[in-house]
Every structure is written in structure tokens, then in C-alpha cells.
Amino acid sequence: MKLIQPLVREHALSKDDLVAPLFIDETAGSPVPIPSMPGQVRYPPGDIALVVEQLREKGIRAVLLFGIPGRKDAAASEAYNPAGVIQQGVRSIKALVPDMVVITDVCACEYTDHGHCGIIGEGPCGLDLLNDPSLALMAQIAVSHARAGADIVAPSCMLDGMVAYIRKALDDEGFPDTAIMSYSTKFASALYGPFREAADSGFSFGDRSSYQINPANGREAVRESELDAREGADILMVKPAGFYLDLVAEIKKLGLPVAAYQVSGEYAMIRAAAAKGWIDERKTVMESLLCIKRAGADLIITYFAADVAGWLYEEQ
Ligand SMILES: [Zn+2]
């Protein structure tokens, strides 16, 4: 039976499935550890190309970049600065490691002084995110990333009409081959807490519940991804991953590649329990990712990517 097992195994994790999220911090002079995400750091801009080269040597094919700018304002102007932290990071990575797929997070929350994902103004229910000015901002950010050399832009703020708007802007500016990975199904989850410390993107007021999906709503979750598929998204996403595997499976049926994001809280829970000796870290990580794949994910975004690449190498 043991001999037959590998032949009948339905799924196996591969390095090709993995996307490594990385934080680039314009204010850092050396790597800054992130206390709520043990093992993860914010890299100074000067280090990022070398870090990515090492990941490529380990067999990782894709990275997802988040930026922490040196300056924040209400308009998120550093987010589309051609010399901004992400734009410089992409250029330096592509110069050193041209065969690494570079995906950039397209959002404003790390760049606004109020911590929200776009332009804030007076709405029908008081201060709120304004959809149309925020769309224009997202398009501007996406085009600046494409111009720097990003292969895939990943708009994360779930504004209405965002994918179509960005697709048109990319095409108009001469980037028809730049793909869009939409954070199409993003839940209002409690599991994002450690990321906010990592990306320095807490709020000065309110939260994001007005533009993220209630964890109770499965039909709405599928509908959101459906809309983005129709607007021209190349890759759909479910975020977080582990609590939402039913939605990974459902959204896979829409016919596009699906990315699943194992978020900071999922990472932190495994790391913390393993540090206490309560679970076996390696086995838990591999099981969590294999189950995400079994549910239907084509791409798995995980802070464990570098560890897993090493473990998969040992298992060969
Ligand atoms: Zn955001």
C-alpha cells in the first residue's frame, strides 16, 4: 500500500504554487523585525533585490510587494511617485532577477495619513471612502507600478468598478500585458491584525467593514469575484485562505486562476503555537498549504514561502 500511495495522491504542493509577500520600508536602514510576525522583517529598499534573488535561488517564482513610504498624506501621493518605494523596488528587482514574477499590491492604506484605502470625504453617512476619486488614484498607482516593470498589479481595496477602470488605464498607457490579480473576495477578517503592524496601516478613524465582505456571506463572496472576472481580472483572490476554503472551491468554478492569501494572522497563529511547543510547525504549515491547494488555489500567497521551498527541496 505504501508503494502505491504516491501514485494515488490527489494533490501535492509545489514551489511553483508559492508567492512570497515582502515588505519594503523606505524609512529602514537595516531589516526591521515585525514582532507580531516572528521571522518576517521590513526590508530597506537597498536590500530588496538581493533578498528576491535568494528567494529565486530557492525556487520561488513570484513575490508580492508591499511598501511603507517615508511620507504619508491624505492623497497617498507617495503611492504613485515614480521614485516611490515600490517603484524603485520593482526596478531594482527586475534589474537583478528578471525572471522573478513581480506582483505589486495596489492600494493606498499604507500611504494615507488616515489609514484608509483611498480618498476620504463626506459621504451620505458621514466621512467615508469616496469611490470615484479613489478609482482614479488606484489607476494612477497601477500604471506607475507597470511603468516600473511590475508583471502583475494586485488592487486590494475592492472599490466598485475598480478592475475595469485599472484595466482600461493600463491598456491606454501601453501596458496591455500587465496582468491584474484582484483581491476579489476579501473578508472583513480579524486575521489582518499583525499585517497592520507590519505595514504600518492602522486607522485614525473607522475600519474597513464598509468595503470588505462579512464572513457570514458566501453568496456575496462569490458575486464579488464574479464581478471582477467580468471586469477583466486575470487572477481572482480569496483572502484570508484557511477559514474560507469553501469559497476558494466555489470561486475556482468561475474558470479563472485563483490565488489564496494565507494572511498575517494565520501565519502568526501557527508561529506562536509552534513557539510554545503546542504544534509541530513544519507539519502544520505543510498541511495548511496542502489543504489550500486541495480546495483549488492555483497560487498560494504565504509568509512561509521561503521555509516551504527549503522543506520541499529536502523532500525531493
Ligand atoms: Zn488598503
238-277: burial string, b at 16+ Cβ within 10 Å, e else: bbbbbbbbebbebbbebebbbbbbbbbbbbbbbbeebeee
Q: Which of 58, 72, 94, 186 is catalytic?
A: 186
Tell how far the Cα of 88 is from the centroid of ligand 1, in angstroms: 20
Per-residue pLDDT tens listing for the chain (316 residues): 789 988 999 999 999 999 999 999 999 999 999 999 999 999 999 999 999 999 999 999 999 999 999 999 999 999 999 999 999 999 999 999 999 999 999 999 899 998 888 898 887 778 888 889 999 999 999 999 999 999 999 999 888 899 999 999 999 999 999 999 999 999 999 999 887 777 766 655 565 555 789 999 999 999 999 999 999 999 999 999 999 999 999 999 999 999 999 999 999 999 999 999 999 999 999 999 999 999 999 999 999 999 999 999 888 7
Whole-model pTM? Answer: 0.94
**Which of 239, 276, 283, 293 is flagged as catalytic?**
239
Dist. CA 12 → ligand 1 center (Å): 32
Q: State the cell numbers at 174.
A: 501601453
Report helix, strand or coil for 246.
Answer: helix
Catalytic residue list contains 239:
yes
- 234 CA distance to ligand 1 centroid (A)? 20
What dihedral do alpha carbons 140, 142, 144, 145 form, nearest 10°? Answer: 160
For residue 216, give the C-alpha cell: 457570514
- What Å distances lie between residue 22 and 34, 68, 175, 253, CA to CA? 12, 11, 24, 29
Report how far ligand 1's centroid is from the alpha carbon of 156 (Å).
6
Dist. CA 158 → ligand 1 center (Å) = 9
- Residue 313 Cα to ligand 1 midpoint, Å, equals 35
Q: How far apart are the first and last CA of the chain?
A: 20
